[in-house]
């Protein structure tokens, strides 16, 4: 499958202010554009990149666009975003199967999100990264006339309707399309649209939503810059300000497998003929994460906080125990940076359930799913785990110290 990436960088970023082009603004010592392009250059699924730029910049592009390790072409953009993307699409290789479009102003897109968006587009034709609304969403309108019949515009907008936030998603990029879908969508480019997914919708295609990332912010206004600097510092392994350091913890758990029990891993029930034996739901993935987080925080282990001698935790969902553990962090000036977990189980195969487990773990920890890595291994027939008599999990947790306490 041949994948062409378009990094939309044809705008001038007027809302950010200043005299320089937004895409050339340095965040963490690197231009926004370089960070975005680098993410796609490094991705193994990307075969070529086309970057539409303002005409003046396209005539003399930065060196990092001239010395790319993959085929990279620069084109002059247009007045509108979709004009710039259309100009780039005309340069896409004839053998391209998938076209993926990303805003240059989103410099922190992860390789995982790029890969998931490409896979969804290959399967369904069109896909867009998006995150579900977390706040209550209000539909606003102008204030109605008062009892005296007079409008009062100075009173501003009022709520017309409260929308179901579980149905509201905030669109991000990347957005990816099969070539034929993209071509049909851009046949409607005379219609103004704020993203490519909107054009695909108007062309009659369903656009699949792909779980986006909270860190995949779009740098638009001056208020976005401090947050971008903080994300860049974390991504680059630097210290954020004077009051941020890191702490690491490890966790391990093992449970015997017996008949008559559910096999629960990361809060997800896995179809299996045997499940893990334990006082709670015996979720070794959650238990290893709990121990890793508690260890990094210097708060002991799972047995200290949720002992199996306490009837409160009998058959307790381990996701609930995980949420209780996470609640211990903020009052101590701590926050989760990322988790890495390895499950060791001989059978069944866990690959089909990995994404569901990642999402389930991210929820009670209040982190983006991109911060949670889960891998599944076997023990190659060695010891009790290898003989299928037990399941084990190893976890590592990295915590940020967000507040120095005396």
Q: Is the pLDDT of residue 148 over 90?
A: no
Give the model's pLDDT for residue 19: 61
Q: Where in the sequence of the chain do the CATH 3.30.1330.50 domains occur?
A: 245-401
Give the model's pLDDT for residue 243: 45
Q: Is the pLDDT of residue 22 over 90?
A: no
Pairing of strands 372-377, 334-344: parallel
Give the model's pLDDT for residue 242: 44
Q: What is the mean pLDDT of residues 394-405?
A: 77
- State which fold the 245-401 domain adopts: 60s Ribosomal Protein L30; Chain: A; (3.30.1330)
Confidence of residue 404 (pLDDT cuts 50, 70, 90): very low
Q: What is the mean pLDDT of residues 120-148?
A: 86
Alpha-carbon distance of 307 to 158, in angstroms, equals 51
HSE, CB side, 13 Å, CA atoms: give it for residue 271.
Answer: 3
Contact 77, 54 (CB under 8 A): yes
Task: Write down the CATH number for the domain with range 3-142+157-235.
Answer: 3.90.550.10
Alpha-carbon distance of 294 to 206, in angstroms, equals 44
Give the model's pLDDT for residue 146: 60
For residue 124 the two structure tokens come to 């369904």
Contact 388, 312 (CB under 8 A): no
Give the model's pLDDT for residue 58: 93
Alpha-carbon distance of 323 to 134, in angstroms, equals 17
State the average pLDDT for the chain: 89
Alpha-carbon distance of 110 to 120, in angstroms, equals 16
Q: Where in the sequence of the chain do the CATH 3.90.550.10 domains occur?
A: 3-142+157-235
pLDDT (tens digit per residue) in 50-84:
999 999 999 999 988 988 889 999 999 988 888 99
Give the model's pLDDT for residue 403: 52
pTM: 0.60
Give the model's pLDDT for residue 401: 76
């Amino acid at each position: 499958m041949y994948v062409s990436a378009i990094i939309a960088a044809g705008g001038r970023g007027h809302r950010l202010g200043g005299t320089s082009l937004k895409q050339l603004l340095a965040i963490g010592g690197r231009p926004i554009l370089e960070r975005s392009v680098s993410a796609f250059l490094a991705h193994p699924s990307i075969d070529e990149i086309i970057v539409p730029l303002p005409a003046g910049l396209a005539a003399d592009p930065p060196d990092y666009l001239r010395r790319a390790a993959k085929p990279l072409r620069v084109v002059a953009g247009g007045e509108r975003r979709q004009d710039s993307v259309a100009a780039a699409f005309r340069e896409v290789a004839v053998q391209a199967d998938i076209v993926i479009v990303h805003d240059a102003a989103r410099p922190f897109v992860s390789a995982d999100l790029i890969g998931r968006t490409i896979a969804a587009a290959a399967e369904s034709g069109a896909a867009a990264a998006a995150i579900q609304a977390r706040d209550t969403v209000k539909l606003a309108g102008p204030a109605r006339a008062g009892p005296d019949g007079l409008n009062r515009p100075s009173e501003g907008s009022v709520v017309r309707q409260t929308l179901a936030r579980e149905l509201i998603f905030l669109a991000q990029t990347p957005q990816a399309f099969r070539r034929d879908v993209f071509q049909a969508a851009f046949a409607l480019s005379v219609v103004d649209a704020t993203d490519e997914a909107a054009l695909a919708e108007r062309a009659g295609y369903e656009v699949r939503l792909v779980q986006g990332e909270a860190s995949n912010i779009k740098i638009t206004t001056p208020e976005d810059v401090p947050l971008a600097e903080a994300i860049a510092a974390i991504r680059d392994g630097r210290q954020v300000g004077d009051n941020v350091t890191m702490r690491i913890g490890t966790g391990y758990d093992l449970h015997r497998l017996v008949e008559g029990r559910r096999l629960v891993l990361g809060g997800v029930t896995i179809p299996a003929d045997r499940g893990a034996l334990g006082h709670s739901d015996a979720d070794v993935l959650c238990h290893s994460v709990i121990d890793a987080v508690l260890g990094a925080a210097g708060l002991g282990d799972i047995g200290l906080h949720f002992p199996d001698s306490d009837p409160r935790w009998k058959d307790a969902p381990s996701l609930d125990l995980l949420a209780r553990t996470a609640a211990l962090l903020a009052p101590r000036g701590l926050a989760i940076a990322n988790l890495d977990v390895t499950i060791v189980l001989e059978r069944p195969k866990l690959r089909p359930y990995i994404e569901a487990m990642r999402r389930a773990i991210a929820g009670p920890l209040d982190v983006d799913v991109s911060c949670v890595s889960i891998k599944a291994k076997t023990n190659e027939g060695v010891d009790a785990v290898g003989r299928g008599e037990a399941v084990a999990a190893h976890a590592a947790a990295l915590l940020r110290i967000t507040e120095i306490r005396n």
